[in-house]
Structure 1
Amino acid sequence: MAIQRLRTETRYSEAVIHNGTVYLAGQLADDLTGDICQQTRETLASIDRLLAEAGSDRSRILSATIYLKDIAADYAGLNAEWDAWLVPGTAPARACVEANMYAPEVLVEISIVAALN
């Protein structure tokens, strides 16, 4: 089966599709001036758009890796947005860790693996 790459840049592709699975690169908010709730909402909206482009949706997520700049300060806000966004009964395998981000204003980054529709 061929490998399909979407929105390929020099160093990465935003999505890679292979063998019925879509792998998303880490997604960020468009506006990095907001708080954790705003950044999480924007990040989840980006994931929705990219999954749709790849032929999947949030109900098909298999795994999520979430990176937070400050887990003590932002875990509750992230989870409030995540819980409201997630389709009931479809919780994926998930890891959430604190990480140094590439820029100080980035509060959250989320990487997704999902099954195609």
Structure 2
Amino acid sequence: MSDIKRLNAGPRMSQAVIHGGLVWLAGQVGNPGESVKDQTKVILEKIDNLLAEAGSDKSRLLQATIWLASMDDFAEMNSVWDAWVDPANPPARACGESRLATPDYTVEIIVVAAQSA
């Protein structure tokens, strides 16, 4: 078990798990009730911080899964995502509509990344 590192572990989940040179992040959400753009900005900042703590960064992303409360918000979320993602190293990505933990959340993003060499 010592080869598995867990960041910000709680009784239900860890915010990140590191194993075998890979970093898995838990689903990240923004501030409830804020706009889709603002929630996405907060989420991507959290992702940047967790990846840095895990010894990685957005240029090392392998996969992203994005859940939107409504696909009507796809363009608004993408306007923030497109400005953030490393255009030279975009991850494999999926985006779908799902009911999130509370109606105040409009976006949730989950990523997997490789650690830096």
Q: For this structure pair, what is the TM-score category when the shorter chain's length is used for normalisation? A: over 0.9
The residue number in structure 1 matching 2:11 is 10
Extract structure 1 runs of 4+ deviating beyond 2 A: none
Q: TM-score, normalised by structure 2?
A: 0.95
Aligned-residue CA RMSD (Å): 0.9
Q: Which runs of 5+ in 1 are unaligned?
A: none
Q: Secondary structure of the equivalent of 2:8?
A: strand
Between the aligned residues of both structures, percent identity stands at 49
Partner of 1:67: 67
Map 1:4-83 → 2, pairs under 5 A: 4-29=5-30, 31-71=31-71, 73-83=72-82
| Cα distance between partner residues in 1 of 2:35 and 2:56 | 28
1:76 is displaced (CA, Å) by 0.1
> How many angstroms does 1:33 deviate by?
2.2
Task: Give the letter for the 2:34 counterpart.
Answer: G
Give a deviation string over 1:10-58, Cα, whole Å, max 9, x none: 11100000000000000011x2221111110010000000000000000
- Aligned residue identity for 1:105: D
Residue 89 of structure 1, CA deviation: 1.3
CA distance in structure 2 between the partners assigned to 1:34 and 1:8 by the alignment: 26
Counting only pairs closer than 5 Å after superposition, residues 70-109 of structure 1 correspond to structure 2 as 70-71=70-71, 73-109=72-108
Q: TM-score normalized by structure 1?
A: 0.95
Distance in 2, matches of 1:28 and 1:46, equals 9
| Structure 2 residue runs without a partner (length 5+) | none
